[in-house]
Chains A and B, each alone.
Chain A
Amino acid sequence: MADIAAVRPASRMSFGGWPQLALWGCLALALIIAPQVFSSSAAVSLLSQLGTLVIFCLSYNMLLGEGGMYSFGHAAYSGLGAYFAIHAMNMAAHGKFYIPVWLIPLVGGIAGMVFGILFGYLTTRKAGTAFAMITLGVVELVHASSEMFPGFFGGEGGVETNRNYGSGFFGMTFGPQIRVYYLIVAWLLLSAIAMYALTRTPLGRIMNAVRDNAERAQFVGYDPKTVRFFILVLSAFFAGISGGLQAINMELITSESVSSLRSGDAMIFTFIGGAQAFFGPIIGVLIGGFLSFKLSDYTQAWQLYLGIFFILIVMYAPTGVSGILLSNWRVIRAGLFGRVAWRWSAVVCAGAMIALAGAVLIELSYGFVFGSEKGAVVNYVRALDKNIQGVVWGAAIVVLVGGIFLLRRLLPPFKDAWNDVSSRAHLMKSGDRA
């Protein structure tokens, strides 16, 4: 299990103390005022979607970050939770039993947990790469059986519902999107606090122990398989809640929600945001959501950008975006940023050159192959003169090569300086404590 420990250093990265509380306050405040700032109906439905995704990725990070378990099948729990939730809604609407809409996510959560117990029993016997492959098998099993039971999974068209039934929450029905958004926010804050609290319990600590060194944890007397099983069941519960909210939000669930594709999204978003920090997945969802929901209006290559970004993070910043932010924050707080500011900006500039030129080249190639539909950059370039178009291609290549050359020159000295500064910052921090 040494490889898991290598991916995630043992020390917890968190702000600690009052910044932690402030962070939670900011999160709650941001969630509450967001629809006032972005008030168009498209924006509110996008925010609702991001909200369910945040719960999904936070629950995924219980496995990845806290337990060191790389699951490729997390959508099995959220998807099945969503299906059970949507059937519960339809039954409640037909008066078969009574359950208010705002409690529906709990149905999803319990369904997710039940399947977590069922599948978790199989998958958590293994760790590491074998666990990853078996979870992939499980989600494929669920996805393939969606064709076998069209009554439950709704076949090609999926299962539809209407969230506007019953008397609502103290007389407030959930017809308008904005109310659904606040319902999602309430469940999001509740689940996020519960998941965060869990990391502070003894069970949470044992999860970390099993992640860092399963053998030692076993010597101390904790069976790694049992611990992994508990993490998975709890994580499946929260995944089910996100599925239930998705059912309320979309009013339609198709078999795509139990696919390996959806599971892959959770993994990519969480890893981009950073599995180290509790807030990492939230940042990951913001970035991934921006790329997949917003950028897809302007370019066809958004999946390529997402893939490249993911690979760069895996290769050069395994702590994710939140890890980069945190290490910068530490250096700034220690008052040492001034020493590297010049090199830091040079490296960022070189990186920006590569990113910009690379994006222009990718956009032009996509436009060249697929035509200019949905290509903002391509349309802009097409409007230019033929000769200038050639100049754009040439300039992009020159800037790209120049940027790579610069980065190769600048990176090694920057790395040395940065490591020096951040280890000093670390020393100063531990000095505070002593």
Chain B
Amino acid sequence: MEYTLINLLNGLSYGLLLFMLSAGLTLIFSMMGVINFAHASFYMLGAYFAYSISIRFGFWPALVVAPLIVGLIGAAIERYGLRTVHRHGHLAELLFTFGVAFIAVEVVQVIWGRQTLPYGVPKQLDGPLFTLYNTDFPIYRVFMMGVSLFMLLSISLMLKRTRIGLVIQAALTHPDSVEALGHNVPRLFMLVFGGGAALAGLAGVIGGAAFVTEPGMAAAVGSIIFVVVVVGGLGSLLGALLASLLIGIVQTFAVSLDYSLLSLFAKFGARLGPDAPGYIVLKISIAEVAPILPYLFLVVILIVRPRGLLGTRET
């Protein structure tokens, strides 16, 4: 019981962090049809800016200012880069963001250096919030989960309940009509892209403190957030939440399970030696499979349900 509960909580907090990371990505995709390969780079930039701000002004200003800076950078990239490429089509946009991700790693290294930055959890949020059986559960994890849920709530409220959200949604399907009604559609797209980048930046402020802040951090999460977005269904915010939680919980449990098919057979009295057929596959424990689980998940989803968990469109 203790084991299950602790793992469930850890999985939930990891899944919610994944959601924070992929929310902006799925938002940008659903609004603009752009797959942003530089999304993880914005996450990285968020962590780096947060570090620089937090050593001078503390964590709380960083929590607000760093995502804003990242959002501004995102908006600028949309305005001066992506917009030029837009006329060449969505795939050209994808290539453009791929190039941006390539350059971002280099620029970050020139500004902050190649070493890991000592960016950690702030003092106020350090320490256990409550003790479950004999295991402490840190405040920071709860904080992380809270921010993520707050993010989900505010995004969906903004899109569904505010005027600008409605205009954005209309611009997705009928950009010409929306433009004819007097709205500046290119500026809306810039806003959406900047907003998505800011969300990734916020995830960076929080994730960078919880994990490591180093030039490789973008590459480390780069592919997994794409898995989340595809599994959840391209463009579906709720689907992304579901997929993040699923992947977070499954992976957290898998890492701590040291069972293999071999141990399963042993339970039924069949002790197999190294010369048994398929021994290499049989001896692999669940913990060893954990790194490939998300990708396996992606493949299974594509076979069973090609549009993703909650996706509405086929491509």
Q: For chain B, what secondary structure do more than half of its interface residues adopt (helix, strand, loop), or is it mixed?
A: helix
Chain B contacts for A137, CB-based, 8 A: 223, 226-227, 230, 295, 298-299
Q: How far is the CA of A363 from the CA of B106 in the complex (A)?
A: 13
Q: List 24 A-B contacts (CB under 8 A).
A: A3-B89, A4-B89, A6-B87, A70-B95, A127-B315, A129-B35, A130-B230, A132-B94, A134-B230, A141-B295, A141-B298, A144-B291, A147-B288, A264-B102, A271-B95, A303-B105, A304-B107, A304-B110, A306-B102, A311-B81, A311-B100, A315-B84, A315-B85, A318-B88
Q: How many chain B residues touch A (Cβ–Cβ < 8 Å)?
A: 48
* A6–B95 touching, CB < 8 Å: no
Chain A contacts for B113, CB-based, 8 A: 369-370
Residue A145 lies at the interface, judged by CB distance under 8 Å to chain B = yes
Q: How far is the CA of A132 from the CA of B85 in the complex (A)?
A: 18
Instruction: Report which of B33, B91, B100, B111 forms a contact with A70, defined as CB distance below 8 A.
Output: B91
**Closest A residue by C-beta to B293:** A144
Q: How far is the CA of A229 from the CA of B113 in the complex (A)?
A: 44
Query: Which B residues are closer than 8 A to A by beta carbons?
Result: 33, 35, 81, 84-85, 87-92, 94-96, 98-100, 102-103, 105-107, 109-111, 113-114, 223, 226-227, 229-230, 234, 280, 284, 288-289, 291-292, 295-296, 298-299, 302-303, 306, 314-315
- Given A126-B315, A307-B106: A267 and B90 within 8 A (CB)? no
> How many residue pairs, one in A and one in B, have C-beta atoms under 8 Å apart?
132
Instruction: Report which of B95, B110, B292, B306 forms a contact with A369, defined as CB distance below 8 A.
Output: B110
* B289–A148 touching, CB < 8 Å: yes
Chain A contacts for B296, CB-based, 8 A: 141
Beyond contacts A122-B299, A125-B302: 4 other A-B pairs, Cβ-Cβ < 8 A, are A2-B89, A130-B230, A134-B302, A264-B102
Q: How far is the CA of A315 from the CA of B88 in the complex (A)?
A: 9
* A314–B234 touching, CB < 8 Å: no
Q: How far is the CA of A2 from the CA of B280 in the complex (A)?
A: 47
* B81–A315 touching, CB < 8 Å: yes
* A133–B226 touching, CB < 8 Å: yes
Residue A366 lies at the interface, judged by CB distance under 8 Å to chain B = yes
- Given A6-B88, A7-B88: A311 and B280 within 8 A (CB)? no
**Closest B residue by C-beta to A139:** B223
**Closest A residue by C-beta to B289:** A148
Q: For chain A, what secondary structure do more than half of its interface residues adopt (helix, strand, loop), or is it mixed?
A: helix
Query: Which A residues are closer than 8 A to B by beta carbons?
Result: 2-4, 6-7, 68, 70, 122, 125-130, 132-134, 136-138, 140-141, 144-145, 147-149, 151, 260, 264, 267-268, 271, 301, 303-304, 306-308, 310-311, 314-316, 318, 365-366, 369-370
* B223–A307 touching, CB < 8 Å: no
Chain B contacts for A308, CB-based, 8 A: 103
Closest 7 CB pairs of A and B: A3-B89, A141-B295, A307-B102, A311-B99, A307-B103, A144-B292, A6-B89
